[in-house]
Structure 1
Amino acid sequence: MVKRKSASNSDSMEGWNYEAKVLEIEGIIARIEAGQLELEEVFDQFATAVEYLRQCESFLQQRQQQVDLLIETLSDD
């Protein structure tokens, strides 16, 4: 199974979990800081963490838009 890296649409977010990604990012950071990785692995893991951060940012932006829409809907009533 191939995972999509882009979080630009809701299909790629199916089964995706914000808290799980944050834990993965924290784990990557901990391994990097602890010196548990070879240099090449550090770069690979760093790239992975950056991608996860982008996914998290996209997720939060989408949810913020939903909240803004709901607030706007309430204000219109």
Structure 2
Amino acid sequence: MADEETLLEFPCDFPIKIMGETREGFAEEIVTVVRKHAPDFDMTGFAMRASSGGKYLSVTCTVTATSKPQLDDLYRELTSHPWVKVVL
């Protein structure tokens, strides 16, 4: 079935950048949420970077996206997480 709402072709590698304040367990919490929606997420698709002042942490998770609803659900859960400030 062709999804007319997206230009993506599934499955595809899809990087998601999640930013929040630096805190203990932030990266692990993000990976837990990502694996809920992309159970095959592999840590080779994981990167983490602190801001220059160290106040914020950016986590990039490259998932194998299988559908637009999967990505929508993942974005919804990440953006509603109290530790997350921005999802790109």
Fold agreement, TM-score > 0.5: no
Which structure has more strand as a fraction of its residues? Answer: 2
Please give the TM-score of this superposition, normalised by the length of structure 1. Answer: 0.30
Which structure has more helix as a fraction of its residues? Answer: 1
Greater C-alpha radius of gyration: 1
